[in-house]
Amino acid sequence: MKKIHEDEALLVIDKPAGKTIAELEKDLYPSKLPRAGIVHRLDKDTSGLLLIAKNNESLNSLQKQFKERKVEKEYLCLTIGKPEKEGKIETLIGRSSSNRKKQKVYLHSEPKKGRMREAVTFYKRIKEFKNYSLLKVKPITGRKHQIRCHLSYLNHPIVGDKVYGFKNQPCPKGLSRQFLHASFLKVDNKEFFSELPLDLKTILNKIK
């Protein structure tokens, strides 16, 4: 686990794929020292930038900025097929009634069932391959599984996504997780960057 930045209030790490938030907390605080904690979430098989507040004042400030949508986030992902060059996805997202582990897109015009929340995602295609597209994705809201759910809704699911992907969809040999990486964060006028990890770079080189 690589530290990107650390000061008295904030720690920014480069989360490896395969680690849950609970496992990260044990790694970061093995002796259970006083702490505020991880501010936001990344799925187990998503890699990239993660913010950790080191005191309660920092935690409250960061949570407020997330709530007010002042934190800028960007992800890189590889999707099936070729979506439009760029676009905006704006829907409601709520838990799927048929699979409790999944989220589902609901349109504003649909009858409302259960708790649904607004979800907004911008994307831009930055590279094309034969069967895939590399996208830069900017979620405005922060709903659970938002990017994965939204891209699946567009019929361009993330490559390697076992939950939101389609049956028998193509997958590059050697990819063992979803191709999704949190590459950029801007908070308190500080910008943080994370390059694609080696496993994802290797996949891109294979499909060129």
- Judged on CB neighbours under 10 Å (0-12, 13-18, 19+), 40 is middle
43 is catalytic: yes
- Computed from CA positions of residues 145, 148, 154, 157, in that sequence, does the dihedral angle turn out positive or negative? negative
Please, what sign has the CA dihedral across residues 183, 1, 191, 193? Answer: negative
Q: Where are the alpha helices (DSSP H) in 45-111?
A: 56-67
The answer to whether 75 touches 124, Cβ cutoff 8 Å, is: no
Specify whether the CB–CB gap between 153 and 104 falls below 8 A. no
126, two tokens: 């930055």
Please report where in the chains the tokens 């908070």 appear, as a residue: 187
* Candidates 7, 14, 27, 43; catalytic one: 43
Instruction: Tell me which residues are annotated as active site.
Output: 43
